[in-house]
A and B are shown apart, each in its own frame.
Chain A
Amino acid sequence: MIQRKLTLVMENKPGALARVVGLFHQRGYNIDSLHVDPIEDFEPFRFIEDELGIKFQVGEVSRLTIQTTVGDKLMRQILRQINKLIEVIAVSDDENTYLKGILRNENLL
């Protein structure tokens, strides 16, 4: 078990954060730390815009970083469960990224 960081890009909508936090409790995972803020500098996220053919507007999306202490197998499961949340656009751990539901074997965020 080691501490790992998850990064999410998600729609900045009412209740969206509660879905992420609720999922951790519901599935028995633990949150060591949580940070969330609206994305203002879109430069690192241009690849998402290109991939989805959209343009982010200021205030529309947030970045979440979550630290959690788990083993490999559970980490993969957490990533996949988060990816299922409808408002999550992209989620990465150290090795993988789900971008709009599609798995990439690299950390893109």
Chain B
Amino acid sequence: MKIAGNDILIQSLINEGVEYIFGYPGGAALHIYDSIFNQKEMQHILVRHEQGATHAADGYARATGKPGVVLVTSGPGATNAITGIATAFMDSIPMVVISGQVQSHLIGTDAFQETDMIGVSRPIVKHSFTVDKQENIAQIVKEAFHIATSGRQGPVVIDVPKDITNPDELFDFNYPEKANIRSYNPPIKPENHQVSRAVDAILTAERPVIYAGGGTISSNASNELRELNELIDFPVTNTLMGLGVYPGTGKRFLGMLGMHGTYQANMAMHNADLIIAVGARFDDRITNTPEKFAPKAKVIHFDVDHSSVSKIIEADIAVFGQVKDSLQAINNHLRSRKDEINKEKLSPWHQQISEWREKHGLDHQLYKNNSDEHPILPQAAVQHIYQESEGKAFVTSDVGQHQMFAAQYYHFDEPRKWINSGGLGTMGFGLPSAMGVKLAYPEEEVICITGEGSIQMCIQELSTCSQYKLPIKIFSINNLALGMVKQWQDMNYEGRHSSISYEDSLPDFVGLAESYGHVGIKITKNSELREGIAKALAIKDKLVFVDIYVDPNEHVYPMLVAPNGSLKDMWLGKGEKT
């Protein structure tokens, strides 16, 4: 059967099993939208801004592990998608973004809504394609999905000139079964001698730490990580991107490490004799000053990406390959040497960690104090959300203090439940990503913990939530300022609060939510906090926007001392340093 280019494109997506495509139509994409109209297998979600489309697809991808798919038009449609593509790129999230382009013969003429999308997106994609002729559409889509979802995952852009999707020219359509890219071969199986060296190091360690990041989640290696830890009983810390890969309530869990990591996690890393990095990349929010990072530690690094290993911190043992395969290999090897495993040897180390936890660990009981003598603590708000949702919700967040409080005080026991922009730090991510999660898991509780600053960066998507009836629960931790910026100004600029306040211009969020057909709840007092959160979560069929007024002067602690600090140098409170 012969079909037109626009139908080939859409049929190819259907063949890839795409359920949802997030997008916004426009001139160069009109033929494609006509094909979408004529099919029923895939649902198009009309967002209100292309940034929302990319974040929604990203949230869908993070929650499901399947690639998110986006469709935008040329020019401003394409450039509006850039922030979302960069967000996915930094966190290695699989995504396929299809951008319309002006007709082939107009390319390079500064035509209406023409942008060199391939050029603009080049530094923030894993790969990109321009479709040159209709006969290549199917092959390119196949390759794009293969590249996006294999190796170290990432976003792929397909730029499609309008004439390529002309409905009047018909072509044969056969969707290829495999993508054969002769120049692309991501490593799959780890090498035996590296596995055996890693096991030797594991068996002799006395002060070990497992440091697991987002790559462990991408690789679906949570079970393998937990099996490893049953075998060897090491303390485990997670990066911001790795939360949930090891149970947040697990006995050996140290909490998050790094810039706003727990005291015990950062101290354990600093004093370790062995660090096992699993799908993590030693970024600057983790290492503090690299020269001062974990001075006594040997490093084993598991990663699928050669270029991540020894980029910042030199690895003593590198195990390349999908983290899942590498951990399986390690576990099998360890089982064969079971009599050499000595968990007893670790007790002084576990004892030391308990002492650190006792001394300066986070207080997880703040929510029990509901006195109205002091303002609501943002930490307590997150703790209440955790309690009332029984720790089972998907939680998306934006960027800033609320994000760090959510990461510190909401304990994730499962991977893919904590959805946030770790690498790029994109404000505006929380609400649209929650839409993607809710579409993927309509029966699950989906919470967006945000701030009154971040939420306004993609607040237009409240309208999308109304159209598709997405009963997300939004908890806005409202401190009447750009809190994290304010914290830095307090700590590093002698309290000169430059451009962090909106004065009296904040909208009435309750009224705003209601104007979209949602429910709004405002909470200003401690004594109303638990009840207000519970009430919001009890409303199952509507989006609820909960505007929580918190203490505007709270800071996030611990916080690493920078510049020139190590992981043991932390601010523990206002004016209180290690």
Contact = CB atoms under 8 A, between A and B. Distances in A.
A68 interface: no
A83 B185 contact: no
A89 B183 contact: yes
Nearest to A18: B122
Interface in A26-61: 26, 52, 54
Given A26-B123, A77-B311, A100 B306 contact: no
Contact of B182 (A14, A26, A54, A80): A54
A87 B123 contact: no
B294 interface: no
A73 B119 CA distance: 29
B307 A22 contact: no
Nearest to A14: B130
A100 B151 CA distance: 13
Contacts, number: 51
A84 B89 CA distance: 14
B299 to A, nearest CB: 15
B184 interface: yes
Interface in B505-543: none
B307 A81 contact: yes
A15 B118 contact: yes
Contact of B183 (A15, A18, A22, A100): A100
A86 B118 CA distance: 15
Contacts of A102: 185, 187
Contacts of B183: 10-11, 86-89, 100
B325 interface: no
A18 B344 CA distance: 56
Contacts of B184: 86, 100-101
Nearest to B154: A84
A76 to B, nearest CB: 7
Contacts of B305: 84
B147 A101 contact: no
A86 B147 contact: yes
B438 interface: no
Nearest to A88: B183
A86 B181 contact: yes
Interface residues of A, number: 26
Nearest to A26: B123
Interface string B292-316: 0000000000000111001100000
B307 A80 contact: yes
A88 B181 CA distance: 11
Interface residues of B, number: 22
A80 B119 contact: no
Interface string A66-97: 00000001001100110110111100000000
Contacts of B123: 22, 26
> Which of A80, A83, A98 is the most central at the interface, judged by chain B CB atoms within 10 Å of its CB?
A80
Interface string B106-121: 0000000000001100
B127 interface: yes
Contacts of A4: none
A19 B124 CA distance: 11
Contacts of A18: 119, 122
Contacts of A22: 122-123
A100 B130 contact: no
Contacts of B181: 86
A107 B182 CA distance: 21
Contacts of A81: 307
B182 A89 contact: yes
A18 to B, nearest CB: 7
B384 interface: no
Contacts of A101: 184-187
Contacts of B127: 86
B126 interface: yes
Contacts of B118: 15
A52 to B, nearest CB: 6
Interface string B70-83: 00000000000000
A83 B307 CA distance: 9
Contacts of B311: 77
B185 A100 contact: yes
A86 B307 contact: no
Contacts of A88: 183
Interface string B488-505: 000000000000000000
A6 to B, nearest CB: 15
Contacts of A52: 182
B189 to A, nearest CB: 12
A95 to B, nearest CB: 15
Interface of A: 10-11, 14-15, 18-19, 22, 26, 52, 54, 73, 76-77, 80-81, 83-84, 86-89, 98, 100-103
Given A76-B310, A101-B186, A102-B187, 20 more contacts: A10-B183, A11-B183, A14-B130, A15-B122, A15-B130, A26-B123, A54-B182, A77-B311, A81-B307, A83-B306, A83-B307, A84-B306, A86-B127, A86-B181, A86-B184, A89-B182, A100-B182, A100-B184, A101-B184, A101-B187
Interface of B: 118-119, 122-123, 126-128, 130, 147, 152, 181-187, 305-307, 310-311
18 contacts: A10-B183, A15-B130, A18-B122, A19-B122, A22-B123, A73-B310, A84-B305, A84-B306, A86-B127, A86-B147, A86-B181, A86-B184, A87-B183, A98-B306, A101-B185, A101-B186, A102-B187, A103-B306
Q: Enumerate the 9 nearest inter-chain pairs by beta-carbon distance, A residue then B residue, closest first.
A: A80-B307, A101-B185, A86-B127, A89-B183, A100-B185, A80-B306, A26-B123, A86-B184, A81-B307
